[in-house]
Amino acid sequence: MEKREALPQRAVLFPDVPPHWGFYGIPQDALGIRPIYSSRGNEFEIIIIDDGSPDGTQEIAQQLIKIYGSDKILLRPRAKKLGLGTAYIHGMKHATGNFIIIMDADLSHHPKFIPKFIRTQKESNFDIVSGTRYKGNGGVHGWDLKRKLISRGANFLTQVLLRPGASDLTGSFRLYRKEVLQKLMEKCVSKGYVFQMEMIVRARQLGYSIGEVPISFVDRVYGESKLGGNEIVSFLKGLLTLFATT
């Protein structure tokens, strides 16, 4: 008989819902996540942070609450877009679990990787488990050659300048111990793409252990992903700031 791995009790799933198109991703992620947990007899909750998106995100979340119950689906909206870091803080206030898994709700991050995140954490008692596109069989689908080259180049620069001890700094599919995430949020000051990098760099500084799980990242199944000159300049400025201050 196949032995199923035990998952941490009250593991928390905290989809990061991008404004304007979260409508599409939330039901898919919720439906994909629930079987992973319910089949193993573990408790879970999905915390949905919606920053005032006009596309029906909150209405869809209310439908999910009717299906799965308000103890499993927690809708915690905000009046307007206030930034990724504050969304994490807002979500943590309502999280009851010992572990928090942060993921995009647009199907860029697939719930099928969650058991491996948890198994990796249990095997080595990691403080953080980070999804990586740049290790093992990890990869990216849906990007053109230009975007792949930019991503690879940016990742190479971060490795040379910051020596973070992790192969993918800009991804957001991660598992954290709740208390570790709280401490990192107190230390991090960056915004945008650089925020995710700073989380890992600060974790290294504070001596937290980091494991990695290769993942397949699928560029926004729903919605549009943009990477322009302003984003690249902002990334470079943030990278140099981290290099000078860490």
CATH number at residue 154: 3.90.550.10
The per-residue pLDDT for 80 is 72
Res. 144 pLDDT band, cuts 50 70 90: confident
Asked, for residue 99, whether it belongs to a domain, the answer is: yes
Q: How many CA atoms lie within 13 A of 41 on its CB side?
A: 3
pLDDT digit string (tens) for 73-115? Answer: 888 877 777 667 777 777 787 788 888 888 876 678 888 888 8
Query: Domain containing 69: what range?
Result: 11-245
Asked, for residue 94, whether it belongs to a domain, the answer is: yes
The number of angstroms, rounded, from the C-alpha of 185 to the middle of its chain's C-alpha atoms is: 14
As given in the structure block, the two tokens for residue 14 are 């905290």
The number of folded domains in the chain is 1
Asked, for residue 2, whether it belongs to a domain, the answer is: no
Cα 227 to Cα 26, 232, 246, distances in angstroms: 23, 7, 26
The per-residue pLDDT for 228 is 58
Asked, for residue 3, whether it belongs to a domain, the answer is: no
Asked, for residue 151, whether it belongs to a domain, the answer is: yes
Q: For residue 213, what are the β-bridge partners?
A: 131
Asked, for residue 107, whether it belongs to a domain, the answer is: yes
d(CA 172, CA 183): 17
The per-residue pLDDT for 213 is 97
Asked, for residue 1, whether it belongs to a domain, the answer is: no
User: Is 31 or 176 the better-scoring residue by pLDDT?
Assistant: 176
Which of left, alpha, beta for 207 (phi over 0: left; psi -120 to 50: alpha)? left
User: Is 55 or 240 the better-scoring residue by pLDDT?
Assistant: 240
Mean pLDDT of the region 205-213: 96
The torsion angle over the Cα atoms of residues 59, 63, 65 and 69, rounded to 10 degrees, is 170
Asked, for residue 218, whether it belongs to a domain, the answer is: yes
